[in-house]
Amino acid sequence: MADNNNNHHSFDAIIIGSGLAGLSTALTILDAGGRVLILEKEPKLGGNSMKASSGINAATTDEERHAFRQDTLHSAGDATNPALVDTLVQHSQEAVLGWLRERLQVDLSQVAQLGGHSQPRTHRPAGKLPIGAEIMIKLQAAVKEFEGKQEQDNGVLQICTSAKATQLVQDDQGRVVGVAYTITTEEKEQEVVAHAANVVLATGGFAADRSSTSWLAKVRPELLALGATAGEFSTGDGLTLASALNANLVGMQHIQVHPTGFVDPKDPDNPNKFLAAEVLRGVGGILLTPQGKRFCNEIGRRDYVTDKIFSLNAKYAETKTWQGGSDEKVPQVYLLVSEEGAAAIQKHVDFYAWKGFLTKVKGAKEVAEYMGMDAETIGATLQEYQDAAKAGADSFGKSRFLAVPQLDEESANYYVGKVEPVLHYCMGGVQINPRGQVLKDESTIIPGLYACGEVAGGLHGKNRLAGNSLCECVVFGRIVGQGIVKCENAAKI
């Protein structure tokens, strides 16, 4: 096994994973003059962080922080650790509106109030890029500026891509002092060990692994039939590495299901699903059963809409639990957006149409053809919806009607696609304290081992508030980086 004995004996930190949590930690250490090795098992950096589209939360005043705390606790239920919530809320301004904006010039100029939030606090850019790409492109560029620098310079960085961490290395006292990893190239696979004063797990979630030995199979086997929005690399490796050292895992059963992942007509059974973002329903998109009927308030909370879709399955409707039996096919429904609704988010819609997830059709007749039913059924549904919009209320409790699809047999344009509930976020993970140190139990840390981002559990409880994951990655990534810098400086003194 080769030894990555780069520049003397070791790095200040080896960071496993190059999403927002990993790179926030890395840049914090590099800016303070530290030495960092980043291991990324994919050929490219970025992880799921690159895909994020809704925004990132931050609160500025005491009053805003109070409301942010309350909303996060309310959404999390009783399964959260309030100390982690306090840390998130207290540091959100510095991390998001300070560091991201000032150090990286991330555009956070648009602020929205998303579902579950009592105030507008979810920031996103005004330009073309979605929030994930806006942050990650700038963050990667800033981190990569340290590549190739020599030891005498401030900040030394080595990035290894296609390098999968396979084991954490401990010394005699149980301190984590290194990582064993496998580098894969076209020619060969090479086993390597690298040493460091600290190791940071930033490996993301586990929703994409459906193998019989997966974390999903262990904790929520009934969800194995659902697709996931997370990339294929989201296989819970950090949990496996940490639990081999007896790290405690918390809240593993709490997995967020998003009601709408696109079913790709070219590859309908592919479990890797593309998120049909909430905004499609937010601008007035409606959901229809395969029989062409509405069945819910489309702008209700994620868990409500998911429940309504699952309820189209007779067994679920009876028991109200998804059991994942072979007779329980995940229900699929149609998403229909009027031309007026699409115009409000034309860039998104054009992208989805280009990917083949949404199809532009003309007239209610073509909608019916797309859905394989007669035009009268669709006509009756659209008529009923228009009547409800005029009255200002429907039978599902909807009272806000935007861009209502017109009943036009021939000439109105609509966008139609098929969607189904998908796994979206893993709330559970490695237990940490507010400094991001990995815990064996409530009060025992594993020295030298940190975790941040989706791999860490305990912050979001039963349900993550939209925009809190990106915030968590930056807040805890910064805290972990600062903690490592402080220890390293203290050790030098």
State the virtual CA torsion across 397, 401, 406, 412 in degrees, nearest 10: -130
| Alpha carbon distance 261, 355 (integer Å) | 13
Q: Which residues pair with 423 in a beta bridge?
A: 228, 257
Binding mask 441-460 for ligand FAD (x = CB under 6 A): ------------xxx-----
Residue 100 in contact with ligand FAD, rule: CB under 6 A: no
Q: How far is the CB of 314 from ligand FAD (least distance, A)?
A: 30
| Alpha carbon distance 340, 311 (integer Å) | 30
| Alpha carbon distance 232, 85 (integer Å) | 29
| Alpha carbon distance 28, 486 (integer Å) | 11
- Phi/psi zone of residue 17: left (φ > 0), alpha (ψ -120 to 50 degrees), beta? left
Q: How far is the CB of 487 from ligand FAD (least distance, A)?
A: 22
- Which residue in the set 27, 165, 200, 412 belongs to the binding site for ligand FAD (CB under 6 A)? 165
**Edge-to-edge strands, sheet with 456-457:** 249-250, 429-431, 456-457
Residue 131 in contact with ligand FAD, rule: CB under 6 A: yes
Q: How far is the CB of 346 from ligand FAD (least distance, A)?
A: 20
Cβ distance to ligand FAD smaller for residue 243 or 313:
243
Q: Which of 84, 45, 78, 28 is nearest to 430 (CA)?
A: 84
Residue 204 in contact with ligand FAD, rule: CB under 6 A: yes
Q: How far is the CB of 146 from ligand FAD (least distance, A)?
A: 19
Does residue 475 contact residue 41 with C-beta atoms inside 8 Å?
no
Residue 202 in contact with ligand FAD, rule: CB under 6 A: yes
Q: How big is the site for ligand FAD, counted in residues (CB under 6 A)?
A: 42
- Which residue in the set 21, 263, 342, 427 belongs to the binding site for ligand FAD (CB under 6 A)? 21
Restricting to residues 221-260, name those near ligand FAD by CB under 6 A: 229-230, 233-234, 237
- Which residue in the set 34, 55, 178, 282 belongs to the binding site for ligand FAD (CB under 6 A)? 55
State the virtual CA torsion across 30, 36, 39, 40 in degrees, nearest 10: 10
- Which residue in the set 255, 349, 470, 475 belongs to the binding site for ligand FAD (CB under 6 A)? 470
Cβ distance to ligand FAD smaller for residue 167 or 386:
167
The piece of 183-191, 198-206, 219-227, 329-337 that touches ligand FAD (CB under 6 A) is 198-206
Restricting to residues 405-424, name those near ligand FAD by CB under 6 A: none
Q: How far is the CB of 96 from ligand FAD (least distance, A)?
A: 11
Residue 201 in contact with ligand FAD, rule: CB under 6 A: no
- Which residue in the set 203, 214, 260, 297 belongs to the binding site for ligand FAD (CB under 6 A)? 203
Residue 108 in contact with ligand FAD, rule: CB under 6 A: no
Give kind and range of the element (H or E) at residue 260. strand 255-262
Which residues have a Cβ under 8 Å from the Cβ of 246 and sit 6 or more positions away?
A: 440, 446
Is-catalytic flag, 258?
yes
Length of the chain in residues, anyone?
A: 493
Residue 160 in contact with ligand FAD, rule: CB under 6 A: no
Which residues have a Cβ under 8 Å from the Cβ of 138 and sit 6 or more positions away?
A: 104, 105, 106
Cβ distance to ligand FAD smaller for residue 280 or 378:
280
Q: Which of 312, 294, 331 is nearest to 422 (CA)?
A: 331
Which residues have a Cβ under 8 Å from the Cβ of 191 and sit 6 or more positions away?
A: 1, 2, 166, 180, 181, 182
Residue 18 in contact with ligand FAD, rule: CB under 6 A: yes
Task: Please report, as ranges, the residues that interact with ligand FAD according to CB under 6 A.
Answer: 16-22, 39-42, 47-49, 51-56, 131-132, 164-165, 202-204, 229-230, 233-234, 237, 275, 425, 453-455, 467-470, 473
Would you please indicate which residues are annotated as catalytic (active-site) residues?
258, 281
